Structure 1
Amino acid sequence: MPNFRNKNVLVIGGSSGLGEATAHAFADAGASVTIASRSADKLKAAAERIGQGVSSVVLDTTDDAAVEAYFAKADAFDHVVVSAAQTPGGLVRELPLADAYQAMNSKFWGAYRVARVAKINERGTLTLISGFLSVRPGQWVLQGAINAALESLGRGLALEMAAQKVRVNTVSPGMIATPLWDGMNAGERQAMYDKAAATLPARAVGRPEDIANAVVFLASTPYATGSTVLVDGGGAIA
């Protein structure tokens, strides 16, 4: 396992799902981890689950002033991960524009705001979480477009931030069993998982830990920048 002892890591969206698993992986590797999200209650619960002295901060990445104020007073981080997003979906001709704007503001502009002002140490990393819908949108057109924009942002930032000796990468998950799906009926959710496991080339549904492993790999690999790493069970090629 890579060693992140004496490294400071910020995971935005670290109160549940992919972000929490990523925070846990960095903590297990010896890092000092800060998790951020909009919910103080969720942060407290996640910090208790992760343990190992993780700290937390309430942060809404859709709020320009809040993002700028937080990073203005925060110390520099060695690694920053942006996993937070709320992206209501639907057919383009049916989804209300307000919901479409909210989705873009949360996932794309949230990451953009962080990238503008986050202080990252030399040889550090910024990692964005997109999603395989960028290449296989199906009926999730808006989410596909947002994820593709994030991946393009990551490649551009890798060039822009090279002068600061900061690497930028993107991890693109496929179907992952996370609390995102908890609003579904339990039977329908399991049927969805079973169908995915039967049809994906990997013959499995992803776990949050699978994404965390990819983030840690990119953070610990000095030669990786401008990359988009698909961890989707083969969904993009199925």
Structure 2
Amino acid sequence: MFPDFKDARVLVVGGSSGIGLAAATAFAARGANVIIASRSRDKVDAAVRGLAGSAGTVTGATVDITDDASVAQFMSTAEPWDHVVITAAQTPTGAVRQLPLADAYAAMDSKFWGAYRVARAVPIRAQGSLTMVSGFLGVRPSKASVLQGAINASLDALGRGLALELSPVRVNTVSPGLIATPLWDKLDGAARQAMYESVAARLPAQRIGQPEDVAQAILYLAGTGFATGSTVLVDGGGAIG
């Protein structure tokens, strides 16, 4: 049973869609005062409107985690948060020998260095929490997504190290498998469904994940005072299947 998070201050970076929006929704439903941060003002405003009427309050902010100055400016005036979640990332995929280096650098800058920038600057109350979202490719790499596996593994390692450095703030990572998010909307509808069904058939859970599955793990880590330095797999068994 999750705590109600009533009046807790929660920052969700990347909270305007997908896993981040599911996490923001779950925190707000339990009474938290949530700030959704993303670099798209339109997406932030739409997410805030969609969560109107939640038990807690929801506001938005524009932050580009790939930009040092944007992160520094936002954090410089921020009051400490009780819980911080980092889900934002844009990671181009491709074989190492074909993916342009500029795209590889951009992927690392978004998912790893973006999380690093936030983690080094964000004020968090003692006994509060920082939760980052990595991915199961860090545990079970794929020859088609080598870079993504390396980035996810580096995030898991960053979380364990930060759990020591930032103590008594608790730091954890959630490592999802395939999740049905807007990331896949670029695929034709029939192709997307066929991909979902193909992956689900190979998973022990026999289904793909939903953003809410990952949000549950995020809330578990935020609300469990003895959890730090952990990586929680939410992958339907993908790492063992």
The normalised TM-score by structure 2 is 0.97
Aligned to 2:14: 13
For structure 1, the residue ranges without an aligned partner over 5 or more in a row are: none
Per the alignment, residue 112 of structure 1 pairs with 116
Q: In the alignment, does 2:151 pair up with 1:150?
A: no
- Number of the residue aligned with 2:205: 202
Distance in 2, matches of 1:144 and 1:110, equals 16
Counterpart amino acid of 2:98? E
1:150-208 CA-to-partner distances (Å, cap 9, x unmatched) read 0000000001011xx10000000001001000000000000011112211000011000
Aligned match for 2:96, one of 79, 87, 92: 92
Is 1:172 the equivalent of 2:151? Answer: no
1:39 and 1:184 map into 2 onto residues whose CA distance is: 22
Per-residue displacement from partner, 1:91-130 (whole Å, max 9, x unpaired)?
Answer: 0000000000000000000000011110000110000000
Give the deviation of 1:59 after TM superposition.
Answer: 0.3
SS in 1 for 2:116: helix
Matched, 1:67 2:71: yes
CA–CA distance in structure 2, aligned partners of residues 103 and 199 of structure 1: 28
Structure 2: any 5+ residue segments left out of the alignment? none
CA distance in 1, matches of 2:227, 2:27: 18
RMSD: 0.7
Match of 2:190 among 168, 187, 190: 187
3-state secondary structure, aligned to 1:151: helix
Q: What residue is the counterpart of 1:237 in the other structure?
A: 240
**Is the aligned partner of 1:49 residue 2:50?**
yes
In structure 1, what residue type is equivalent to 2:114?
A: G
Identity %: 61
One-letter amino acid of the structure 1 residue matched with residue 172 of structure 2: N
Q: TM-score if structure 1 supplies the norm length? A: 0.98
Q: What is the count of residue pairs matched by the alignment?
A: 236
What does 1:207-226 align with in structure 2 at a 5 Å threshold?
207-226=210-229
Q: Distance in 1 between matches of 2:118 and 2:206?
A: 36
Q: Distance between the aligned counterparts of 1:143 and 1:188, measured in 2?
A: 22
Determine helix, strand or coil for the equivalent of 1:237.
Answer: coil
Match of 2:107 among 103, 107, 112: 103
Deviation of 1:135 after TM superposition, in Å, equals 1.4
- Residue type of the partner of 1:224? A
Runs of 4+ in structure 1 off by over 6 angstroms are none
